[in-house]
Structure 1
Amino acid sequence: MVEQQYPEVLTIAGSDSGGGAGIQADIKTMQACHVYSSSILVAITAQNTLDVQAVLPMPIKMINAQFASIYADFDIKAAKTGMLADSQHVRCVVKNIKQYHITPLIVDPVMVAKGGTRLLTQEAIETIIQDLIPLADIVTPNLPEAEAITNMRIISKADFETAAKKIAAMGAKNVIIKGGHGQGKTVSDYVLLADGHDFWLSGDRYDTKRKHGTGDTLSSAITSALAKGYSIEKAIRFGKKFVDMAIKKGIVVGHGHGPLNHWAMQGDHDEI
């Protein structure tokens, strides 16, 4: 008998019944990155690759109980947030993050599903800006989310840089603005680090509709890398590579916006 110890991580998010995004994508990614994933379920969705049909937030009492249970037993090395449903649930999560001194914390401000369905109310967006982003070690909005957070259009590289500085001024230590919703043959993400160092990460734009859960996967890969002791910059670069491979080596699932291939990097042990 051989027993091994792995870093323990936490995802705080909603469930995707179709398995492509949300807590399901988080756990698949974390498992592929060789860390142990625990989870706190904030909301349930009825969802497939075509659309989100229903959303049901969990009772606040149950969310609090999940936090208490996790932190009574597990040694969490890094955590991430995903879809948090509404303002009341964002405040509940924020309270628990403070209570259990959760760090490093990666905030993926999930607002819109790949099919276009809005997953977060405007009031909840404001609560994320005021209460959650200031707790983030890394915040990872895509273009529409960054525009909603900063209340500005983001088109040029200068816009990316301005928006990232605005988000950093809200309290986030490190900022990634993802360029997947942009145009062109390459996808370019802009990274602004806490020390002022910034850089662009570019990769091929693949002609596929199988990109459901991209943001969840990126933030989960970064969380996993941080738990394993990677620096902030190395963790971000690893996350970008993980997502690129998960899209490039696609799988055929469903009839709409299909999920990524979360085992695409299996066997590439030097990188995970």
Structure 2
Amino acid sequence: MAHIALTIAGSDSGGGAGIQADLKTMSALGVYGASVITAVTAQNTRAVTAVHAIPLDIIEAQISAVLGDLDVRAIKIGMLATPGIIDCVCRALKGFDGAVVLDPVMIAKSGDALLAPDAVSALRRRLAPRATLVTPNLPEAAALLEGPVARTPAEMVEQGKALCAGGAQAVLMKGGHAEGALCEDILISGGEVLASVTAPRQHTRNTHGTGCTLSSAIAAGLAKGLPLVEATAEAHRYVQQAIAAADGLNVGHGHGPLHHFHHVWG
């Protein structure tokens, strides 16, 4: 019987992030991926040139269709774009008792905004408390807390605890935007650090979709029944391997994607 995960996110026409990266990741990790599209972006490795939000009734209908038929064990939530979409997703998930991984997508790798400024507070108030895990990068965590960007592991822990105090069950503070030879992600629940995973910082510009890939990889692990710490560690290993193989893809002329199927071809 297949393990099933659902991604609720935006579409990336370039294929490197969003729904496309999520489904590739889930498949690569042995999980059947279903999808709900919240927005369609005109996007490549260089820029996001247009965004079209999907009507709320269609988003709700997609969620209802999937959850009404498929045995979904975990949901990854990515790009939501507007406060209306955030409210819609919150309503549609009432009654779902599986794991929810929230990746608070705000800015694309190209620097283009993917979340309306007035949607940040809605994300913090409505959706973060609904999540099993929130996976912000350092600028996203700062935006959610309306504070400065964390610069040290101690500050990352402090901000992770603050997000938990605000309602999130657990937070993975991602250190990709920090400096130093090592990249450290810190998993926090309540007032405690559950785990810390580190890897040598890889020097490549082909990291488009890293956050989407990590959050959907964790959701895949949770869908398979792994405990949160183990699912996070497995996802971290997978992402590091996908980044290491990224330069071999040679896709596009900007920030290229990870190699999601590095273990299969290339």
Asked if these proteins are the same fold (TM beyond 0.5), I'd say yes
The residue identity in structure 1 corresponding to 2:258 is L
Matching residue of 2:262: 264
Matching residue of 1:270: none
Matching residue of 1:238: 234
Matching residue of 1:132: 127
Identity of aligned residues (%): 42
The residue identity in structure 1 corresponding to 2:100 is L
Please point out which of 232, 250, 253 is paired with 1:252: 250
The residue identity in structure 1 corresponding to 2:159 is A
Shift of 1:193: 2.8
The residue identity in structure 2 corresponding to 1:259 is P
Q: After superposition, give the CA deviation of every residue in 1:146-203 in whole Å (9 maximum; x if it has no partner).
A: 1101122211222101100110011111110101111112111111135824332111
Decide whether aligned partners of structure 1 residues 170 and 266 sit closer, same or farther in structure 2, where only a CA change above 3 A counts. farther
Shift of 1:107: 0.2
Shift of 1:61: 1.0
Question: How far apart, CA to CA, are the structure 2 residues paired with 1:265 and 1:157?
Answer: 32
Question: How far apart, CA to CA, are the structure 2 residues paired with 1:102 and 1:234?
Answer: 20
Shift of 1:265: 3.7
1:221 paired to 2:221: no
The residue identity in structure 1 corresponding to 2:103 is D
Question: How far apart, CA to CA, are the structure 2 residues paired with 1:140 and 1:266?
Answer: 27
Question: How far apart, CA to CA, are the structure 2 residues paired with 1:185 and 1:197?
Answer: 22
Decide whether aligned partners of structure 1 residues 125 and 261 sit closer, same or farther in structure 2, where only a CA change above 3 A counts. same
> Could you state the TM-score of these two structures normalised by the residue count of structure 2?
0.95
Within a 5 Å distance, the mapping from 1:49-198 to structure 2 comes to 49-98=45-94, 100-153=95-148, 154-194=150-190, 196-198=192-194
Q: Provide the alpha-carbon RMSD of the alignment.
A: 1.3
Question: How far apart, CA to CA, are the structure 2 residues paired with 1:169 and 1:208?
Answer: 35
The residue identity in structure 1 corresponding to 2:13 is S
The residue identity in structure 1 corresponding to 2:105 is V
Question: How far apart, CA to CA, are the structure 2 residues paired with 1:7 and 1:149?
Answer: 32
Matching residue of 2:24: 28
Q: Work out whether residues 161 and 191 of structure 2, in 8 Å CA contact, stay in contact via their aligned partners in 1.
A: no
Question: How far apart, CA to CA, are the structure 2 residues paired with 1:88 and 1:193?
Answer: 29
Shift of 1:102: 4.5
Q: After superposition, give the CA deviation of every residue in 1:54-79 in whole Å (9 maximum; x if it has no partner).
A: 00000111111111211221000111
Decide whether aligned partners of structure 1 residues 102 and 255 sit closer, same or farther in structure 2, where only a CA change above 3 A counts. farther
Q: Which runs of 5+ in 2 are unaligned?
A: none
Question: How far apart, CA to CA, are the structure 1 residues paired with 2:84 and 2:93?
Answer: 14
Give aligned pairs, total.
262
